[in-house]
Amino acid sequence: MSPDSQDKYDEDACSVIDSLEQIGSQWRLIVLHDLQEGEKRFNELKRSTDASSRTLSRVLDDLQELGFVDRRLEEDAPVATYYSLTPKGRSLCPVFDEIEAWADEWLHATPTGEDPAAVAADGGSTDEATGDDGTTGDDATTEPDSSTGTEPAE
């Protein structure tokens, strides 16, 4: 890698790392995702995220300090605190959409990237010329039958 391309890589990596440091915690992501639906009261967020009051309060304070969330206090009886996304927070909505699309495609895929529904629909069959492990069987070794201690018939 040339020095110029290494510098560009370092800058790109730093941007990703810096971004993840701001939004990358589990609770921050959950709260940001939940607030995409619109303004919510503290207790609504607590119920929808299953976060403890202490955790949610800390996360909301952090997100407000970082400029992702607005806090609005309504002092009418009963007093209520509302949270909503700032323009900076709303700018993450397409990112969440992309993550959701990626998850729909890949989180339930087999290790080889195949769609498990397609594999199941195919009956899980493999190519007749190969075995389940993708080999042709030509170089397969025969193992003794552990139940009888005898070699399998060839």
> pLDDT digits over 39-95, tens only?
999 999 999 999 999 999 999 999 999 999 999 999 888 889 999 999 999 999 999
Confidence of residue 108 (pLDDT cuts 50, 70, 90): confident
pLDDT at residue 86, rounded to an integer: 98
**For residue 41, what pLDDT is reported?**
96
Show me where the domains of the chain are located.
3-114
CB atoms within 10 A of CB 68: 23
Which token pair is 13?
């990596």
Q: Coil, helix or strand for 110?
A: coil
Tokens at 62, concatenated: 């952090």
Confidence label for 23 from pLDDT (cuts 50, 70 and 90): confident
What is the distance between the alpha carbons of residues 122 and 136, in angstroms, rounded to a whole number? 20
Left (φ > 0), alpha (ψ -120 to 50) or beta: where does 106 sit? alpha
Which stretches within 51-113 are classed as H helix?
53-65, 87-90, 93-106
* Residue 89, number of CB atoms within 10 A of its CB: 22
Contact, 42 vs 83, CB < 8 A?
yes
| Token pair listed for 31 | 């709260």
**pLDDT mean over 130-154:** 49
Strand spans (E) along the chain: 40-41, 69-74, 80-85
pLDDT in tens, 112-141: 767 666 766 776 554 444 444 444 444 444
Write down the pLDDT at residue 112. Answer: 74
Tokens 């993840």 found at:
20
- CATH code matching the domain that covers 3-114, chosen among 2.40.50.140, 1.10.10.10, 1.10.1060.10, 2.40.50.100: 1.10.10.10
According to DSSP, the residues that pair with 133 across neighbouring strands are: none
